[in-house]
Structure 1
Amino acid sequence: CHQILWYFLPTMNKFTAGPYRLLATQAAHQVALNVPETKVTALENGLRVASEDSGLPTCTVGLWIDAGSRYENERNNGTAHFLEHMAFKGTRKRSQLDLELEIENMGAHLNAYTSREQTVYYAKAFSKDLPRAVEILADIIQNSTLGEAEIERERGVILREMQEVETNLQEVVFDYLHATAYQSTALGRTILGPTENIKTINRGDLVEYITAHYKGPRIVLAAAGGVCHDELIDLAKYHFGKLPGRHQGEAPALPLCHFTGSEIRVRDDKMPLAHIAIAVEAVGWSHPDTIPLMVANTLIGNWDRSFGGGVNLSSKLAQMACQGNLCHSFQSFNTCYTDTGLWGLYMVCEPSTINDMMHFTQMEWISLCTSVTESEVARAKNLLKTNMLLHLDGSTPICEDIGRQMLCYSRRIPLHELEARIEVSPIEQLPDYNQIRSGMFWMRS
């Protein structure tokens, strides 16, 4: 065995040096260019159809709607999420039982989620069942009965869900972070809404929200896996062609959400650990600084005590956290919205190490603008590109990427273009600490 390895090692070295390495790099670029094309077609009513055919035996198809909790007000906050729950509770063609049985008999999965700016309904199924999956999606967003009995039942479900969310301290922290960063604005409100709203939302509120926001130009039908684009267009015309393409009166405007730097602290000495989020105002999806901020986010990285070799990780903050026992875990984040965003760090610390962890976090942020090296930035760029490619593993994350980018950019950015934009992002474009607006954090200790 050792003899065989001895004979092969020179061969391996020969092919990983000099001109052979250059050939390997060129081949990698050719592979990146050889990914399936994302085809986009707009219907007469403004609904966009976008798909990527990779020839798989399964597919993911979904509706990405430009409507979330940001379009709500104080009175109806929680309506978008409530409506997501009601979509699976029966239509004029199918009862809830019929819908669940049909999905199970197909071996498919039907799901939905609501964010601050988007509502998504999607199905995962065999490629041969694409027509049925699209028909079901069309049925649940256009023909939901929104029965009074089902509405009352879902109130209890959502209230229980809110209790479960309260036990997830990371979600609680980020809700407080938004509340203080975007005070008295739509982004400052939670997605689930307050308890008093959940108890009073009625059928009229749900119908009003659908009427105001579920319009052709604000909807993307996205699909990935084994899908034929021409077939998807025909299905979209048949099932969504009657969706209104215009608003009666003025279209709902995107509510302005101003950033306010401030601080919230909730203290509970019975809790063993402090959960903290500190952030600064970032930029929206289409801003040119988005890529440099993603690189900076990767430079800070993430760390957990369960990781091996903490002192040897490339992230300097991870090295200091490990050597000084400063925290149990941390993760950097870059949350983008249409016209604003939050860039910062979430951490879990012992009460006695909060000040030290906050100090080293801010020192690392300063170092991004003053002393970060070209090699560190190059390493972060490579890691960012790798993470993005690994994320696109399977039809569902690809479909989500298509739907989100179509709403954010009105197109899907090709991988080779995204890679090129990351590569040319210079070190000088990292955020200037002296120009960053005041941060804020929330903690329990």
Structure 2
Amino acid sequence: MSMFSNVTLRVSGSRSGLWVHRHSAILVRHRLEEFAVMRGIRSFNNLSKRGYAAARRSEPLTQHFDATRKPSPAPPTPPQHVQVSKLPNGLVIMSLENYSPMSTVGVFVKAGSRYETVENQGVSHVLRLAANLTTKGGSAFKICRSVEALGGSLNVTSSREAMAYTTDCLRDHLDQIFEHLVNVTTAQEFRPWEVDDLTSRVNIDRALAQQSPQIGLLEKLHEAAYKNALSNSLYCPDYMIGRVSPEKLQLFVEDHFTSSRMALVGLGVTHSVMRQLGEGLMSVRSGAGAPETTAVYRGGELRMQNNDSLVHALVVSQGGVMAGAEANAFVVLQRILGAGPHVKRGANVTSKLSRGIAEATTQPFDASTFNTSYSDSGLFGIYTISQAHAAGDVIRAAVAQIKGVAEGNVSAEDITRAKTQAKCEYLMSIESSESLMEEMGAQALTTAAYQPPEAVLQAIDAITQEDVVKAAKKFVEGKKTMAASGHLINTPFVDEL
């Protein structure tokens, strides 16, 4: 299973062991609810007056309305099931008819930052920002006004694994707005003067990211943990700002925007319609595209010394791979140790991490378990925030809690409670159309199949105490990676843990 979570810049850890990191920017989001409501009220009033006048001229109203008459029940709708198919050119199509008045369609592409090379570092960041530029199908102004006139939206998000171009609109407008989606994903032009104008937006993105210590810590963690691929940042590095040329953008698109690396996913649309829409992507280059590089975990440490009184620290080992059984064991272990408060405006004082750290220090702190999975790797560990002089006690106490589980200090009640929490969080997450869309897109790109909720719940129920202990031992015995920022005078080095 895979799920996603959002924070300030939509970069997060894992809720289910199958999350990916991402960073989103809204291209067009304009709604016409007020206009529609005003028109609806005016039309309704006029209709009522005309209907009343006509009735008075012909016969009494009682002959037209029967207060005792009950409306006929609506016909039952057939059950909802996700349908998956694959076109001859390799394009995966996945859809769910949920009978919503709105349709959401997305094009998912294996074109995240992990596919960048030394020569084109930052190209995926610039490509995400370039999604609202002129295409062969029309100017940026034309696309914006056309989508705006339909009351729809176009969005693009990117992660280390993939890029997703999604659109929301009324069902009746899907054909019209999908044309713009096709142009944005397959008919880019990358005019030099428009690409040059993106430099300021790249700088703004980087400035916003630098304001968040969590985002900076995550970037440094991946840089230290991997030798390649997943070590690439979500943000364009300083030395590449203004150097990502239109030629580099075009070459990256030609290498990675191919049919076998793409998936078309839809909510609120029938599968037959989705297959017809998929034919609109037949112009996409076919083939496997550029070869994929397997991420190599190495372990390491990066420390960012500054004058901040709070120390942010992440200590991880290699975790479970997306869609693997081991990932579910890490999900349950995450809930046992503490994945965050489960009560609105509550505190995480009942988790093993919080209880264990509270015994080691009287200073204020915050601690949670970090868990993220990718198509070929994963990271699992602890994330702590503490006062600079208490950082060592907090970090060591948090690591000790995982060691305790590895030694078998976990009860059957702990396992049952953690599995219940994991299942509830998963079911609640897919109630959101956005999360469900991302879940389907991730599975379409990874396995070209869909794992229904029933199968996900069964996989979680199948986790045993032995599986959880084994996952904890993998962290304890594995090579560690650490990233820390703040006044690090009392922060231990990774080899001291």
1:109 aligns with 2:146: no
* 2:7 paired residue number: none
Larger helix proportion of the pair: 1
The aligned residue for residue 192 of structure 1 is 235
Residue matched to 1:318: 354
- Alpha-carbon distance in structure 2 between the residues aligned to 1:306 and 1:325: 25
Residue 245 of structure 2 corresponds to residue 202 of structure 1 = yes
1:281 aligns with 2:318: yes
Shift in CA distance, 331/310, structure 1 to aligned 2, threshold 3 Å: closer
1:437 equivalent in structure 2:
479
DSSP-derived class of the 2:239 partner: helix
CA distances 1:272-301 after superposition (whole Å, capped 9, x unpaired):
211111111112213321110111112222
CA distance in structure 1 between the partners assigned to 2:202 and 2:364 by the alignment: 34
Q: SS in structure 1 opposite 2:168?
A: strand
Contact 1:68 1:115 (8 Å CA) reproduced: yes
* Identity score, percent: 22
Q: How many Å separate the matches in 2 of 1:109 and 1:327?
A: 43
Secondary structure class of the residue paired with 2:96: strand
Residue matched to 1:16: none
Structure 2: segments with no counterpart, 5+ residues: 1-77, 488-497
2:222 maps to 1:178: yes
Alignment of 1:403-418 (within 5 A): 403-418=441-456
Which of 269, 287, 290 in structure 2 is aligned with 1:227? 269
Change (3 A) 1:142 1:345: same
Cα distance per residue 1:100-138 (max 9 Å; x no partner)? 112222222211111111111111222222222322111
Aligned residue-pair number? 403
Alignment check: 8 A CA contact 1:90 1:144 kept: yes
Q: 1:57 and 2:101 equivalent? A: yes
Query: What is the aligned partner in structure 2 of residue 259 from structure 1?
Result: 297
Offset from partner CA, 1:133-185 (integer Å, 9 cap, x none): 322111111112211111010012112211211111101000110111114x1
Answer yes or no: is the 8 Å Cα contact 2:92–2:448 preserved in 1: no
Give the CA deviation at 1:327: 4.4
The C-alpha deviation readout for 1:314-363, integer Å capped at 9, x for no partner, is x1212345674554433322111111111122222111221111122111
Match of residue 300 from structure 1:
337
Counterpart for residue 241 of structure 1: 282
Distance 1:132 1:345, change over 3 A: farther
Secondary structure of 1:75's match? coil
Structure 2 CA distance, aligned partners of 1:326 and 1:302?
21
SS in 1 for 2:293: coil
Match of 2:111 among 67, 79, 86: 67
Amino acid at match of 1:424: A
Give the TM-score normalised by structure 1. Answer: 0.86
Alpha-carbon contact 2:222-2:230 (below 8 Å) kept: yes
Do the aligned residues in 1 keep the contact of 2:116 with 2:232 (CA within 8 Å)? no
- Structure 1 residues 432, 102: closer, same or farther in 2, change over 3 A? same
Work out which of the residue numbers 90, 93, 117 in structure 2 matches 1:46.
90
Aligned partners of 1:45 and 1:243 also within 8 Å:
no
CA distance in 1, matches of 2:139, 2:233: 31
Find the aligned partners of 1:319 and 1:132 in 2 and give their Cα distance: 56
Say which one has the larger Rg.
Answer: 2
